[in-house]
Amino acid sequence: MRRRIFAPAIVLALLLFGTQSALARSAPTPTAPTPTAPTPTAPTAPTTATAPTAPTTATLIGHWTFDEGQGTTAADSSGAGHPLTLQGGASWTKGVVGPSALAVTPQQDAASAGPVIDTSQSFTVSAWVDLANTSGFQTFVSEDGSQVSGFYLQLRGDTGRFAFTRLAYDSTAAYGMIATSTIVPQPGVWYLLAGVYDASAQTMSLYVDGALQQTIQALAPWSATGPLAVGRGFYNGSPTDWVSGAIDDVRAYAGALPAQQISALAGPGSITVHEDQVGPALNPTQFGAFLEEINHSGDGGVYAELVRNRDLKESSSSPAYWSAVQDKGAAATIALDSSQPLNSANPVSLKLSVGSLPAGGRAGVANAGYWGVPATPGTTYHLSLYAKAGTGFAGPLTASLESSSGRVWATASIPALTTSWARYTATLSTPKGIPATLGNRLVISTSDTAAAGASAWFTMVSLFPPTYDNTPNGLRVDLMQKIAALHPGHFRIPGGNYLEGNTLSTYFNWKNTVGPITGRPGHMNSAWGYWSQDGLGLLEYLEMAQEVGAQPLLAVFAGYTLNGAVVPQSQLAPYVQDALDEIQYAIGGTDTKWGAMRAADGHPAPFDLRYVEIGNEDQFDRSGSYNAYRFPMFYDAIKAAYPQLKIIATTNVTSRTPDVIDDHYYSSNPDVIAGDAHNYDTTSRSGPKHIVGEYAVTQGSPTGTLAGALGEAAFLTGLERDADVVIGASYAPLLVNVNAVSWPTNLIGYNGLVSYGSPSYYAQKMLGDSVGDHVAPSQIVGGNGNLWAVASTKAGGTTYLTVVNRGTSAASVDVDLAGVSAVSGGISTVLAGDPAAMNSIAHPTAVSPTTRRVGPSGPSFRYTFPASSLTVLSLSTS
Ligand code: AHR
């Protein structure tokens, strides 16, 4: 196994002169420092020193432009006479400064005959680098000692960041000094790196794209006596840290080059959008949504029911969220009662027993809703309930929406009950001009003194506000509007862990979630720890997708539950049949059994189902059953019955070739998610496609930070750029009731009254709103080292350029639209602010996009991307 220099695992940090610290490196057998080395102390963080303010002059002593473009010699244009020889097959590629650059892969370099830089004195070394990948240690410029290099201008494998590294003396035992970049490099971007050793200030500084990254204290200068090498380092007496990529315009100076001159070398940076080339076609499914019952996303969320525990199953011991109403001398009790079943699916009812009820008194039942029942001005609420009376309990009943202090916002009358179950409906209309409030309850009561000593039973008490598209048993308007505004192209339903459940008795068994709501038994949402009444069932999930204009992406239960239980192969056939039936319910003709049921449920037309996912995150099934028989059994059966459907696997399988693989990405570190932007650059274009069914930076709660959103946006630029292999992405989880946070970081937050989008919501919306027909390849050069970009074009003359600046300073960049002759104007949309900022119920738009018009221009213009920002330029181009 390859040994690593300076690995933090076996770091010896040395503290010198009270302030100096330095990281040592790993070695197979760490040896004690030589007597000349400082005394080891406990590891400490590197000390950041002040950058030199009074630079000395610097003299160019080596300059390799790599503009030869052929042959095996790179001339030294400084006049100092140190040509480099290309070795091991090192070749040429397109340059960033001048026409060509050095192209290297492992075992290839370009090296001088002897030393160029006196590393014991002040020196500066700079290079433009464009990495093919960001894996491992890669040293761009170094100068050999006898055992190690005198310096390394490099990418570090241990941190994934650029560094200017020195060892204190020419030995693998020496401790190291590492000036590290704050930026995390990505492949395919040109960066200008500059390392400065200032012998008089005893400092080492690293610059990326002209911006100082870190200055540390340095010491014990020594002189490397071997050749200067481009494309590798030197360690333990051998070449190492080979580069894969391009290196251009390498410069060596005697002396510390002033920061201003380093900045001049970097220039302003640029983004070239190659509209003269056609990239991958973008997919209608490119940005999507994913919903499961988590965080009270459905019940107490997008499912608009306002009565909590209407089926009385949230607790088997008490009528949770219900209370007895006993006003003005009345006495009453409530209890769960299974002696008066409505039907076998809903056998439990709420029994109201009235003890006493004097004239002017009131006895009844009240429901507290999901952390309150909302009352908004000028709103009509639809009440329905099943009730039956015991002897003496006649009614009529009064239904009222009232505040906790008894203020009645709306009221309706329910006629006298009978001794048989019957359904009663009424509307409650609030007047205009009342305040919008949440601290309310629904009361069903009687003031009929004859009810004293009598009982009544209630179940499936339901109160709906106006719903999205006015659909009965429908969905909450503000949440649906927010989801619809994302213009999701696909809608993955119904989970997630919720699909799987913890046990075989609690997975999402779709057949129990369709038909009249009184016939739905509900089930324990064991994945997220609360009861699911399944009013939001398969039909409602499918309709939700349709209502926002998305293709449903239907995930079917695949015989694995979160507790690790796996349905044996011999018992899996019924589950496969359930999946086939489920698909038939979604798309079968009305002459089929389940298609007819869909029609009976009110939706005769088939849904636009094209993708079916087998299970969820089956990489957690360590038994191997997914590859061995579960995926093949579902795949074969579905393909046989519905050859037009694309089948999605939730992890890699070899037993069949899935059409698509669903990959999930979560990290609390935005750098990690941003760093995943290039994961699909080298994925085979002839194998399965990929969908990122879940992604999120889990930073902030109940919704995330701007920094998280920018990390995600950077990631999404990569997924969009690789649209030929990545068909879509959806954030997870989509919804969170702020009173019921099962998962830390979510996209849209709400209580019973209001909702808000997180910065991540706006980021996905901005990217989703700017999807053209084709990707236009783009190239970033410099800038501030923190830029991510993707561009696309739309027929009719629209160019979308999406740029993420994750840096803490603005990036002023030359934008060049190659192949375009003019920009007649456009819109810029910017999401920017404090990286730690979040939105909330109280501050719903603290972080939200701003738009402004962009004037006409030529195809090249200078644009400033603000610090910590996501920008979409939507330009009319010709
Ligand atoms: O999005 C939350 C959960 O994360 C999903 O239920 C599951 O698929 C993943 O592990």
Task: Write out the two tokens for 411.
Answer: 């009221």
Note the pLDDT tens digit of each residue in 784-823. Answer: 999 999 999 999 999 999 999 999 999 999 999 999 999 9
Q: Residue 774: how many CB atoms within 10 A of its CB?
A: 18
Q: Please name which of 136, 142, 131 lies closest in space to residue 191, comparing C-alpha atoms.
A: 131
pLDDT reported for residue 8: 29
pLDDT band at 860 (very low <50, low <70, confident <90, very high): very high
In this prediction, residues 768-780 reach a mean pLDDT of: 97
Residue with CA nearest ligand 1 atom 4 = 496
Q: What angle do CA 382, 383, 386 make, to 5 degrees?
A: 145
Give me the percent of the chain exceeding a pLDDT of 70: 94
| DSSP-derived 3-state class of residue 188 | coil
Q: For ligand 1, say whether the CB of 617 is within 6 Å of any of its atoms.
A: yes
Asked if pLDDT for residue 277 goes beyond 90, the answer is yes
Q: What is the mean pLDDT of the chain?
A: 93
Residue with tokens 């840290």: 241
For 25-39, 419-433, 464-478, 789-803, which range has the lowest pLDDT when averaged over its residues?
25-39
Residues belonging to the active site:
617
Ligand 1 atom with the smallest distance to the CA of 732 is: 1
pLDDT reported for residue 394: 82
Q: Are strands 175-180 and 190-198 parallel, antiparallel or unpaired?
A: unpaired
pLDDT band at 40 (very low <50, low <70, confident <90, very high): very low
Q: For ligand 1, say whether the CB of 663 is within 6 Å of any of its atoms.
A: no
Residue with CA nearest ligand 1 atom 2 = 733
pLDDT reported for residue 395: 80
Q: Please name which of 755, 750, 752, 754 lies closest in space to residue 736, comparing C-alpha atoms.
A: 750
Q: What's the CA gap between 576 and 592, in Å, rounded?
A: 18
Strand blocks (E) in 241-372: 245-254, 270-274, 289-290, 322-327, 331-337, 349-356, 362-367
- Cis previous bond, 702, omega within 30: yes
pLDDT reported for residue 7: 30
Q: For ligand 1, say whether the CB of 613 is within 6 Å of any of its atoms.
A: no
Ligand 1: which of 616, 712, 735 to mutate, most ligand atoms within 8 Å of CB?
616
Q: For ligand 1, say whether the CB of 694 is within 6 Å of any of its atoms.
A: yes
Task: Write out the two tokens for 178.
Answer: 């590492």
Asked if pLDDT for residue 23 goes beyond 60, the answer is no
Q: For ligand 1, say whether the CB of 293 is within 6 Å of any of its atoms.
A: no
pLDDT reported for residue 399: 98
Note the pLDDT tens digit of each residue in 721-769. Answer: 999 999 999 999 999 999 999 999 999 999 999 999 999 999 999 999 9
For 30-44, 159-173, 599-613, 708-722, which range has the lowest pLDDT when averaged over its residues?
30-44
Asked if pLDDT for residue 131 goes beyond 60, the answer is yes
Asked if pLDDT for residue 36 goes beyond 90, the answer is no
Asked if pLDDT for residue 827 goes beyond 70, the answer is yes
Which residues are CB-neighbours of 205 under 8 A, at least 6 positions away? Answer: 51, 52, 164, 179, 195, 196, 198, 212, 213, 214, 215, 216
- Kindly report the three-state secondary structure assignment for every residue of 645-711: CEEEECCCCCCCCCCEEEEEEEECCHHHHHHHHHCCCCCCCCCCEEEEEEEEECCCCCECEHHHHHH
Q: What's the CA gap between 404 and 646, in Å, rounded?
A: 52
Give me the percent of the chain exceeding a pLDDT of 90: 93
Q: What's the CA gap between 255 and 59, in Å, rounded?
A: 6
Cβ–Cβ < 8 Å for 197, 221? yes
What residues are paired with 748 via a beta bridge?
735, 757
- Cis previous bond, 435, omega within 30: no
Q: What's the CA gap between 151 and 597, in Å, rounded?
A: 73
Q: What's the CA gap between 300 and 370, in Å, rounded?
A: 5
Q: What's the CA gap between 348 and 340, in Å, rounded?
A: 7
pLDDT reported for residue 166: 97
Ligand 1 atom with the smallest distance to the CA of 693 is: 8
Note the pLDDT tens digit of each residue in 586-617. Answer: 999 999 999 999 999 999 999 999 999 999 99
Q: What's the CA gap between 466 and 381, in Å, rounded?
A: 7
For 44-53, 201-210, 248-257, which range has the lowest pLDDT when averaged over its residues?
44-53
